[in-house]
Structure formats: C-alpha cells, structure tokens
Amino acid sequence: MLRNYISFRKAVAGYLGWWLFWIFVQTLVLHRLGLSWQIALTDAAISNLLLALVGIATENTYRFYNPGAGNRIQRLLYAITLSFAYIYALQFVLAKVFEQNLNYLQFLDNSLPLRYMIALLMIALMTVTSWLFYFMKEQYENTQRKEEAEKLVREAELSALRLQLQPHFLFNSLNSISALAGSKPEEARKMIQQLSDFLRGTLKKDEQQLVQLSDELAHLQLYLEIEKVRFGHRLSTQINCDEAALTKLLPSLLLQPLVENAIKFGLYDTIENITIGITAKAEGKSLHIQISNPFDASTSRPKTGLGFGLNSVQRRLQLIYSRQDLLQLEQKENTFTATLIIPQLA
Amino acid sequence: MIKAILIDDEPLARSIIKEYLQGFPEIEVMDECNNGFEGVKAIQQHQPELLFLDVQMPKINGFEMLELLEYTPAVIFTTAFDEYAIKAFETHAIDYLLKPFSKERFSKAVQKWLSGRTQSTSTAQVQNLNDTNFNHADEQHRIVVKNGSNIKIIPVQEVNYIEAYDDYVKIFTKDAHHLKKKTMNYFEKVLSASDFLRVHRSYIVQLSQITRIEPFEKNNHIALLKSGAKIPLSRNGYLKLKEVLGI
C-alpha cells in the first residue's frame, strides 16, 4: 500500500528525468541512423516532450476519473487514440521545424510507423501507471476509511455497553428506598447515598481504562450493599482475594455485570438462601477471578446464549485484548462458575 | 373483612404495600409470601379475594403462579418491569403498579377494585380476555404444572406430546403426564414452531420424538414416538408433518 505518497516535487523530478533519459537515448539512436547531432537532439526533444505532455494529460484524466479495474478495452482504446493524435501532432510540428530539410522529411515519413509503435507503448505504460496509482490510492483511502469506521463503531459500542444501566435494579432499589423512607428514614438516606455513589462510579468510568482490582472491588461493594438491602434475608457474599491480586489491573466495571448475573441467577433459580463466591488470584502474568452462584440443575431453564450481561463482558474483553477465551463458564452440579482471565500487559 | 395476600420476594417491597394498606382498614393481610410456591399454598389456605403480586420471583413467576390456582382472586401486579403490562391485563389483573409507586396511585388501584367489586365481570368480557390471552404470548421454554400440592417445572424439550382432554390438556413427558387447564390453541401458539407441530385437532407433538410414520387403516397415518406412543395424524396434520420433515 502507498503508505506515504511520493511528494509532488519528487514526482515532477522523476518524470522529467524519465523523459530526459529517453531524449538522450533517442538522440543517440537518431545520430546512429545518420542524422546530425543537432537535428537528432531537436527531434528527440520534441518527440519526447510531446509525449511527456500526453502523459500529464493522461495522469490528469485518471486523477478525476478512474474507470475501475475491469475496463481494459477502454484503456486500450484510449492509448491507441492518443497515440494517433500524438503522431499527427508530432508529424505536424517536426515538418514545420524542418520545413527545408527534404532528407529529414523523408526520414520522418519512413520512421512514422516505428515512432507510432514506441508512442503506443509509452502511452500504454503511462495509462497503466496512472490508473494503477489512482487505483491504489483509492484502495488505500478505502482502507483508511474502513479503519476509521471500525474505530468509531468500537468506541460507540463501548460507550453503549457502559450505558447499559440496569433499569430494573434502579427501580427496585428506588422502591426499597421508598419503603424505608416511611419506617427507617436513616437507612433510606444511607441507601440513597450508596445508590448515588454506585451510579456516579458507573457513569464516570471510562470503559477502556484499566483499574486496580481493589478499586473495582470497592465499586462492587456498593452494588452488593444495595442488593443486600433488597435481598438481605437470602443473599450473602464471600470474597476471597490474594494480597498480590489487589494491585493487578483489569478493565473497569467488568466484574459488576458478572456479579449481577450471578445474583440474578442464584436468587431466581432457587428459593433457598444463596451465597455468591468471588475469588481473585494473581497467577503468573494474569489475574484470575472466579464468580460462582448456586443454581438448580434440575429445573434451570435452558440457557440460550450467554445472556446480556455475560455477552457484553465477553465482547469487551474481545475488543480490549482481541481474545475470545478470557471468559469461561462452567456448570457443575449445583454451582455455576464464571472464570475471568485478565492478562497483565505491563 | 376482605382477605388479601402479598407475594413479593423483596421484604421491603411488601412492607410498603402493608404501609399503604393502612389506609384501607377493611382489607386484612392474611399472609406474606417470598415466592410463588408459598403463594400457592397460602392462597389455598386463606382463599383471599385480593392478591398483590410481583412478576419476577424465584423459580416461577407471578403469571405461572396464577396458572396453578384453582380460582383466580383479584390481582394487582406490582413490578419494576413495564413489559408485562399487556400480559397482566390479559389475565384478570385489576391494575398494574410500576415500582416505585406512590400512595395515591396505589390507593386509586385499590379503590377502583373496591368500588367495582360488587358487580361481577360480565361473561362476555371474561370470554374476550380468554381469547386474547395467547395472542401476545411469548414463546415458552417451560410449563409449570401442579399435581396436588406438588409444583413441577417442565422444560418444553421434555414434553413428548400434548393431548386435548376436555377443558384441560394432558402434557406427556418421558415418565408421567400432567393436567393443565389451557387450550390446544394456546399451546400451539406458545410452543416453538420449529420443535412442535399440531398434527391433529387433539394432538401436538415434539418433532424430535417422532421415529416413524406408518399407514393406519384406510387413508390414515399414525406417528410413532420414541416413548412408544402412537399419535393419530389428521389428513392435514400428515401433510404438514411431511412438509416439515421434508419427505
């Protein structure tokens, strides 16, 4: 791909050099064929400069109109027509310049077919070069556009995932607050505080930003506190965390949807009291986090896909780490476990 | 005294209803339930006139619980989900309260029921409700049934076939069958069309259970299931089945 366009100045110099070279070659050849140096040089200069003009015209045509890869016949016709035009122009100019020189005019007449062939080749070469150049350029621009678009889509997707506020969580929490406001206003106030802190944390965070596990756990704690006000009679949590794991990095807000899923699954799939387990360990170059919840294997509704929470986590991991295998799910007996592996890049 | 029962898996959600109900001394809360199982039992025991019912609850949701009742009390749904409103009114719901709701909104719902309580719903209206019942029904992944006091959740892939049985249907699984008060048309609507087919006025079969199709008497066919059951096919059912199986 044309990563950098050749600068305009360089292109002009190269083009001139190309034609000077051919002027030089043609002069030598014509001199060999018996023309004097002066006549040979004049002939060569005029022929090649005229060709150079044709080349510039061709290049201009392709700059504004690219017939596409398929249209070969059109390009060929273009080259043949231009070559004819060129030969007539050349004959006219040279005949004018050497009006008196009958020998030369005879020579010119004889050499026209050969000149025509050379011109045709040259013009065909320039046509193809111009076409190729603009074709590649277009391709390059297309790729750039596509990359740009992909980047935008990715950013949009990330922010959409971030804005997946859980409306039911919010409304049910507000309902709890409403209930507490009558009987226990102090607790209502506390819950409003927790809910606000939690929501602020959700809105503020940049999804691509990496945070320490300890920060993520603190945010998670707010969420768990609120859920315990709602389901305290049934819900308990058990968090086990390595000292070393606490400073490891992970994308922000990654755990909360998994824990939310575990709570929902656990609370709605059984009628007993449930314990949600969260374990984090630093293992080699990565951080391993396990989130487990009980479920009832005998009546569990058939799972179609991952469900939104798990899907969004998987998608995010894929966007950030370009890997599909960082979230693993396992159902064993009556426990559902989600295992996260977060590579530590630094 | 009007008997009422509260069914919601969040204690605080029940407590706010109790608080609001203090404005209606004629209504007495007989019981509070954490889930549909407790709900079914409590309703059997107390025979309440009025239910306050959450939709999303452990194991079976509010709608599934209603299906298990021998009679349907008046129901006021209380939920944070607004997507069930249409379905709620297609059952016998009096009102649908979105959490969190105000005392005024709550009182309006109860008041509406209290004032309309004496005149019963006209037969035509009930009929209408039953007809529309399944028009908006979502595809179902499970069927909740009750044998005595035993509540069972059957994933639909365990259903071999369904047979019409007067006002009921018989749902046949590998080792049992269950009665449920629903229509064949209902199940034809809510079971996935790619897995189930109505092969006869009185039969719906899970396609993957069919092992063979055999001629039966003159011009008739039956389908043999893995369980050994023989299901009669109507002429139309036989044609549909051939088309679906691509034979």
Exposure letters B87-111 (e unless 16+ CB within 10 A, then b): bbebbebbbbbebbbeeeebeebbe
Distance CA A329, CA A143 (A): 37
**pLDDT score for A158:** 62
**C-alpha distances out from residue A227 to A173, A217, A264, A336, Å:** 8, 15, 10, 19
Chain B nearest-CA distance from A242, in A, is: 33
Chain A nearest-CA distance from B100, in A, is: 4
Q: What is the ipTM of this complex?
A: 0.74
**pLDDT score for A199:** 84
Distance CA A257, CA A340 (A): 12
- CATH assignment of B143-245, among 3.30.565.10, 3.60.130.10, 2.40.50.1020, 3.40.50.300: 2.40.50.1020
Which two tokens mark A172?
């049910």
Q: Is B231 left (phi over 0), alpha (psi -120 to 50) or beta?
A: beta
| B15 near A CB under 8 A | yes
Chain B nearest-CA distance from A169, in A, is: 8
Q: Is B48 left (phi over 0), alpha (psi -120 to 50) or beta?
A: beta
**pLDDT score for A101:** 85
Distance CA A116, CA A122 (A): 10
Nearest Cβ partner of B15 from A174, A183, A231? A183
Distance CA A311, CA A160 (A): 13
Contacts of B139 (CB under 8 A, 6+ apart): B190, B191, B192
Q: Tell me the one-letter amino acid at A208.
A: Q
Kindly report the backbone phi and psi dihedral angles of residue A168, in degrees, each rounded to the nearest multiple of 5, phi listed first.
Answer: -70, -40
**pLDDT score for A300:** 59
Cβ separation A179–B13 shorter than 8 A = yes
Chain B nearest-CA distance from A171, in A, is: 6
Interface list for chain A against chain B, based on CB atoms closer than 8 Å = 167-168, 171-172, 174-180, 182-183, 229-231, 233-234, 267-271, 296, 299, 301-302
Kindly report the backbone phi and psi dihedral angles of residue B110, in degrees, each rounded to the nearest multiple of 5, phi listed first.
Answer: -65, -45
Cβ separation B80–A176 shorter than 8 A = no
Helix (H, G, I), strand (E, B) or coil at B217: coil
**pLDDT score for A69:** 56
Nearest Cβ partner of A271 from B19, B35, B141? B35
CB atoms within 10 A of CB A146: 10
Q: Mind listing the domains of chain A with CATH numbers?
A: 2-147 (no CATH), 184-343 (3.30.565.10)
Residue A346 has pLDDT above 80, yes or no: no
- Closest residue in A to B144 (Cα) is A299
Residue B60 has pLDDT above 50, yes or no: yes
Mean pLDDT, range A316-342, rounded to an integer: 87
Mind listing the pLDDT tens digit for each residue in B177-229?
A: 999 988 899 899 888 888 999 999 999 999 999 999 998 888 889 999 999 99
Cβ separation A168–B80 shorter than 8 A = yes
Q: Are B4 and B21 in contact (CB under 8 A)?
A: yes
- Closest residue in A to B81 (Cα) is A168
**pLDDT score for A231:** 92
Mean pLDDT, range B78-107, rounded to an integer: 88
* Region of poorest pLDDT, from A65-79, A276-290, B170-184, B233-247: A65-79
Q: Chain B, 180-219: which have a CB under 8 Å from a chain A CB?
A: none
Which two tokens mark A77?
């016709």
Mind listing the pLDDT tens digit for each residue in A103-130?
A: 888 888 888 888 888 888 888 888 888 8
**To the nearest whole number, what is the mean pLDDT of chain B?**
87
Q: Tell me the one-letter amino acid at B162.
A: I
Chain A nearest-CA distance from B13, in A, is: 6
Q: Are A293 and A263 in contact (CB under 8 A)?
A: yes
**pLDDT score for A151:** 74
Mind listing the pLDDT tens digit for each residue in A144-166?
A: 888 877 776 776 666 655 555 56
Mind listing the pLDDT tens digit for each residue in B117-153?
A: 765 544 434 434 444 444 445 677 888 998 877 888 8
Mean pLDDT, range B13-18, rounded to an integer: 95
**pLDDT score for B126:** 41
In total, chain B counts a number of residues equal to: 247
Residue A237 has pLDDT above 50, yes or no: yes
Q: Tell me the one-letter amino acid at A129.
A: T
Domain edges within chain B: 2-131, 143-245
**pLDDT score for B131:** 41
**pLDDT score for A159:** 60
The domain made up of B2-131 has a fold known as Rossmann fold (3.40.50)
Cβ separation A175–B153 shorter than 8 A = no
Q: Nearest-5° angle of CA A121, CA A124, CA A127?
A: 150
Alpha helices by DSSP H, listed for chain A, are 8-32, 37-64, 72-97, 102-162, 167-183, 185-204, 213-231, 255-269, 307-321
Burial class (CB within 10 angstroms; exposed 0-12, middle 13-18, buried 19+) of A224: buried
Nearest Cβ partner of B58 from A183, A233, A267? A267
pTM: 0.65
Q: Nearest-5° angle of CA B52, CA B141, CA A260?
A: 65
